[in-house]
Chain A
Amino acid sequence: MYDKGKIIAGIVIFLILITFPIWYLTAHSQTSHVPQLQAAAGNECVESTSYMLDNHMKLLDEWRTLVVRDGNDTYVASNGQEWNISLTGTCLSCHNKAEFCDQCHTYEGVTLNCWSCHFAGY
């Protein structure tokens, strides 16, 4: 094998470079950025936290259909409580877009188009 030394050195340098983020974080003894969700202002959400964590996008989709296409602006939650279907009126009365929605969506690289029409404050 020709140039054994150069090739092995090259591979080692390549491996060090590609695993640099891991070394760097280990050296700084901290994990990467994680979303910091601010506690919501209200006492309870329309559904349980675990349900909302998994299904908030489906719920919002369902709300959109109910209010725009079916003309029904009342959502009956699984516990029987009724909520006014409104993204800005109901959801945003407890949650803040920048401190709640954007935290995970920015972290996960999820691009939403809710806010091009629905107004979340100046």
Chain B
Amino acid sequence: MAGIAFVGLLAAKPIFDVISRAEDPKKAAEAQTAAQTQTKWGMAIKIANCKDGCTDCINACNTIHNVPDIPDPKHEIKWIWDVNYEDVFPEQNSPFLANSLKGLPVLVLCNHCDHPPCARVCPTAATWKRAADGIVMMDYHRCIGCRYCMAACPYGARSFNWVDPRPYIKQINPDYPTRTKGVVEKCDFCEERLALGLIPACVEACTEKALVFGDLNDPNSDIRKLLATNYSIQRKAELGTGPNVYYVI
């Protein structure tokens, strides 16, 4: 009888291990310290600064990153685009929403979450949270096109290439690869420009200074100063994804 119980315990051990996968408090503390010292790129969007009908940031991004302009909405590819205020912040809706916010186009892009659900579900680690600066990266070489990440992302920030995108790119930028049919793509905070010491293309293109980019871990950065002095909200923060794009209303 004792033997059977012992065998039963042995079999159950892996299950216990999974259930009791609590983090070692010491390791967690170390990770916390590391998180405070390393860079954490983030963006703040001052939605009131956006000019009516201006798409400078979107155009700059699309041109630099070879984002195709596919007319069929089922096939379209989006890195940064605009959506009505009510749809960007559904939880903020009230019957008496300020007139200035009703139907106001608000820029949306990948939130480069602290806990990205897309990276968690990716079976090939083709998308992952880069430890050094918090960018949610894409490795198009590894993407198998399963689209789990698209299902996981609560922001719809990811697009799938249903067709070869090249015929839909007006002028290919030879310095940046296009994507191919069968892979998922999204905004990568211009990591290729950050590597050269440049700011993201959308931030650079904005003449109204509506986009502020910087290190959220640096209390003296422009973005931290802006957030310290203004009321800001994040998209669907209640989901616990820890989005790093802030909206100054």
Contact = CB atoms under 8 A, between A and B. Distances in A.
Interface of A: 64, 68-69, 71, 73, 88-89, 113, 116-119, 121-122
Contacts of B172: 119, 122
Nearest to A120: B174
Contacts, number: 33
Q: State the main secondary structure of chain A at its contact with B.
A: loop
B132 A117 contact: no
A122 B141 CA distance: 22
17 contacts: A64-B141, A68-B139, A71-B130, A71-B195, A88-B175, A88-B177, A116-B180, A117-B140, A117-B177, A117-B179, A117-B180, A118-B177, A119-B173, A119-B174, A119-B178, A121-B174, A122-B172
Contacts of A119: 66, 172-174, 177-178
Chain B interface size range: 10 to 19
Contact of B195 (A64, A73, A113): A73
A118 B132 CA distance: 26
Interface in B172-204: 172-175, 177-181, 191, 195
Those 10 A-B pairs whose CB atoms lie nearest each other, nearest first: A116-B180, A117-B177, A118-B177, A119-B174, A68-B139, A117-B180, A119-B172, A117-B178, A117-B179, A73-B195
Interface in B130-157: 130, 132, 137, 139-141
A121 B174 CA distance: 7
Contacts of A122: 172
Given A116-B180, A116-B181, A122-B172, 7 more contacts: A68-B139, A69-B139, A71-B195, A113-B180, A116-B164, A117-B180, A119-B66
Contacts of B173: 119
Given A68-B141, A117-B140, A117-B180, A89 B132 contact: no
A71 B191 CA distance: 9
Contacts of A88: 174-175, 177
A88 B132 CA distance: 26
Contacts of A69: 137, 139
Nearest to B183: A117
A122 B172 CA distance: 9
Contacts of A116: 164, 180-181
Nearest to A92: B174
B188 to A, nearest CB: 11
A71 B132 contact: yes
Contacts of B180: 113, 116-117
A118 to B, nearest CB: 5
Interface in B95-140: 130, 132, 137, 139-140
Contacts of B181: 116
A117 B176 CA distance: 9
Nearest to B173: A119
Contacts of A71: 130, 132, 191, 195
A64 B177 CA distance: 13
A71 B140 CA distance: 15
A68 B132 CA distance: 13
B67 to A, nearest CB: 13
A116 B179 CA distance: 7
Nearest to B178: A117
Contacts of B175: 88-89
Q: Which of A71, A89, A118, A122 has the most CB of B within 10 A?
A: A71
User: Which of B130, B174, B178, B179 gathers the greatest number of chain A CB atoms within 10 Å?
Assistant: B174
